[in-house]
Amino acid sequence: MGLSFIRTVALALALCLPCCNANAAAETNLRPISLQLIWKHQFQFAGYYAAQEKGYYREAGLDVTFREANPDEDTVEAVLKGQSEFGVGTSDLLLYRARGRPVVVLGVIFQHSPLAIMSLESSGIHNIHQIAGKRVMIEYHAAELFAYLKREGVPITQSRIQFFPHSFGVEELLSGKVDAMSVYITDEPYAISKAGLNYSIFSPRSAGIDFYGDNLFTSESYLQAHPQVVASFREASLRGWEYAMSHPDEMADLIIARFGNRKGKDQLLFEYEQMLPLLRPELVALGYMYPGRWQHIADVYAELGMMQADFQIKDFLYNPDTLHIPIWVYWAAGGVVGFSLLACGVAIYILRINRRLSREIAKRNKVRDGIESVNRSLRIQIEQIQSLQDELREQALHDPLTNLYNRRYFHELLERELAQSEREGKPLSLVMIDIDYFKKINDTYGHQAGDRVLVALAEILTSSTRSGDAAFRFGGEEFVLILPGMDAEIGLGRAESLRKIFAEKAIHTEDGDAKTTLSAGIATYPTHAVDAKRLLRKADKALYAAKEAGRNRTQIAE
């Protein structure tokens, strides 16, 4: 059915039925709705604040309020029970849908989830396996962290780990009431760094669990009853996110002015900076979500026994190009109400859809008339999405700052290289590298200087390795080298050479030249271990021994 036909029918019915004009006039009033947040007010939700402040919600006919989360509240159920029309949720939304709770995801804000586990250096937790037997504070909707622990083989029963509900703060960690806690890497690390404490971050991405984060959602019943409201709220919210990520200083000031100074401007801007690589707004349209990746998330949860296998995600994902027709239209068509009410209802509905299609035409300037133009637009979008998927697949293997391979690809490549070494009967050395006193560089010269130190080490690793070697940024200030064909002594020599080159490297900052050193641990296949997990553990232990011995040194595993 072409757009011109829809307009013609809508106009005819509207002229014939005066009740339609009364209803259309009533729609000019702002509709009150609320958005349920998943945390307290902070930059994490800046896009929604921008949509309100800049009038995008008002232009959509909406009067929006925000509900902060409470520690003992299930925010997803708050939306399902109608306490809020919309909400922000984690990948847990999939688990709710699998349990029959009818949530619908409208769009993705974080392309990479910021959820992780943090521990202080004083806790004695230096790898994720040491969390067993500890006291851990976990927030609501952190299922991906439990998936991370399960994949790493960490027992998660209450008898092995003492789980505590989250308090929305870091005081329990600082006071020693808990040994570790769930965090957003965009948030809590700021407070810990300001306290002058060293900490460790354990991210699910290190185990190949790279999920979406902070997803906008609603209930299926609300979508069916108010499809135009959902479309308008989604569009206005994404406009707000585009504005917020382009105006961080303005948004930080707005958050403080409207919601108080629970966080200072420096902390809000820190949050913004940490969000950038997780949202990638310069590469991925805000709100974009790929069904294949959601299916992968479902498969991971199913693999770990957290939901049923072969779960169909189709009804879980919102399709803005699908018209969700309210049930009363079908009742009217069946003769439950009279023809005049049917005509009036259909006219109102067509008027709403016509306005929505008109906005799409003005926005894209591609769709002209009828389904053929829509199909052309869709084909273009599919080609763009396919191109973006290829680009994202390549980026998923690299660290955005140093352009080295990342931790995710490390695990895949190490398994392949060990299998090759076994077939050829050759050794393989693994070198774990950590920049000494890296936190002091950040504290003294700022995070930009710290980034330059990381890039400098990456350049040394790249220029000093053979074509068959592989260098990785493992996380934070940790790097790893895979050296096929090298035994422990040769690996030690290579690590020593890198250590000396890096010790002589000066990083220019606004306050003068910064110098630092590195420590390294070396473990070799098959001398120290014959599988990837044990080899990594041995190298990590050797690195820890080098640091304990005074830093700026290398150490072979025992």
Domain boundary among 186, 207, 228: 207
Phi, psi at residue 341, to the nearest 5°?
-65, -40
| 184 and 166 both lie in a single domain | yes
What is the three-state SS of 481-542? EEEECCCHHHHHHHHHHHHHHHHCCCEEECCEEECCCEEEEEEEECCCCCCHHHHHHHHHHH
With cut-offs at 50, 70 and 90, classify the pLDDT of residue 25.
very low
Number of H helices, E strands in the chain: 22, 18
CB contact at 8 A, 97 and 79: no
| 472 and 421 both lie in a single domain | yes
| 191 and 261 both lie in a single domain | no
| 480 and 548 both lie in a single domain | yes
Of 45, 36, 37, 38, residue with least CA distance to 252: 45
With cut-offs at 50, 70 and 90, classify the pLDDT of residue 167.
confident
Domain boundary among 281, 296, 316: 316
Domain assignment present for residue 74? The answer is yes
Q: According to the model, what pLDDT value does residue 458 have? A: 93
| 171 and 285 both lie in a single domain | no
Residue range 299-334, pLDDT digits in tens:
999 988 899 988 888 899 998 765 444 444 444 444
What is the Rg, in whole angstroms, of the alpha carbon atoms belonging to the chain? 27
Domain assignment present for residue 375? The answer is no
The number of folded domains in the chain is 3
| 198 and 219 both lie in a single domain | no
Domain assignment present for residue 157? The answer is yes
Domain assignment present for residue 306? The answer is yes
Model pTM above 0.85: no
Two structure tokens written together for 257: 């002015």
Q: According to the model, what pLDDT value does residue 442 have? A: 85
| 107 and 153 both lie in a single domain | no
| 161 and 289 both lie in a single domain | no
CATH assignment of the domain containing 533: 3.30.70.270
Domain assignment present for residue 358? The answer is no
d(CA 145, CA 159): 18
With cut-offs at 50, 70 and 90, classify the pLDDT of residue 400.
confident
Residue range 232-280, pLDDT digits in tens:
999 999 999 999 999 999 999 999 999 998 899 999 999 999 999 898 8
336 pLDDT higher than 70? no
Full domain range(s) for residue 529: 405-556
Q: Which residue has the tokens 């870091």?
A: 170
Domain boundary among 171, 192, 207: 207
Residue 98 has what DSSP assignment?
H
| 184 and 238 both lie in a single domain | no
Domain assignment present for residue 102? The answer is yes
| 308 and 438 both lie in a single domain | no
With cut-offs at 50, 70 and 90, classify the pLDDT of residue 153.
confident
SS3 label, residue 103: strand
SS3 label, residue 335: coil
Domain assignment present for residue 6? The answer is no
Task: Provide mean pLDDT across the span 474-500.
Answer: 93
Instruction: Single out the catalytic residue among 188, 271, 417, 477.
Output: 477
Residue 1 buriedness (CB in 10 A; 0-12 / 13-18 / 19+):
exposed
| 229 and 119 both lie in a single domain | no
152 a catalytic residue: no
| 187 and 270 both lie in a single domain | no
d(CA 440, CA 414): 32
Domain assignment present for residue 526? The answer is yes
CATH assignment of the domain containing 300: 3.40.190.10
Q: What percentage of the chain carries pLDDT values higher than 90? A: 51
